[in-house]
Amino acid sequence: QVHLVQSGGGLVEPGGSLRLTCAASGMNFKLYTMKWYRQVLGKERELIATISSGGSTNHTDSVKGRFTISRGNIRGRVFLQTNSLKPEDAAVYYCSASAYEREFWGQGTQVTVSS
């Protein structure tokens, strides 16, 4: 059974940094495309970063240059390094694992950006 457990969210001041982690189990991690989404209450979930099984990455324009997705295949982890955080980055962040036309989700972690 696929299980994604997230950690690393919290409260940070504008300009600060957080590292989000998603730990995967119950799957052949290296075969999955991993993604980070975020969702603000009342809005649609937004895809912000993707890393393929081969390590190719893509970041949406609003986070490009500030956020970086990476993965560690040995331990089955995907990371989102968030730098220069802005108040508008505040959201619940979700990781997902997708392959074979299925997508699995982490539980979500709150990121709050406030002084």
Compute the distance between CA of residue 89 and CA of residue 12 in angstroms, rounded to an integer: 11
Enter the tokens of residue 34.
């991993």
Three-class secondary structure of residue 89 per DSSP? helix
Do the Cβ atoms of 1 and 26 come closer than 8 Å? yes
Band the pLDDT of 54: cuts 50, 70, 90: very high
**Once rounded to an integer, what is the mean pLDDT over residues 29-52?**
97
**Once rounded to an integer, what is the mean pLDDT over residues 81-86?**
98
Residues 6+ positions from 107 with CB-CB distance below 8 Å: 4, 5, 6
Tell me the backbone φ, ψ of residue 6, rounded to 5 degrees. -100, 150
Band the pLDDT of 65: cuts 50, 70, 90: very high
Do the Cβ atoms of 20 and 9 come closer than 8 Å? yes
pLDDT at 100 over 90: no
Q: What percent of the chain has pLDDT over 70?
A: 100
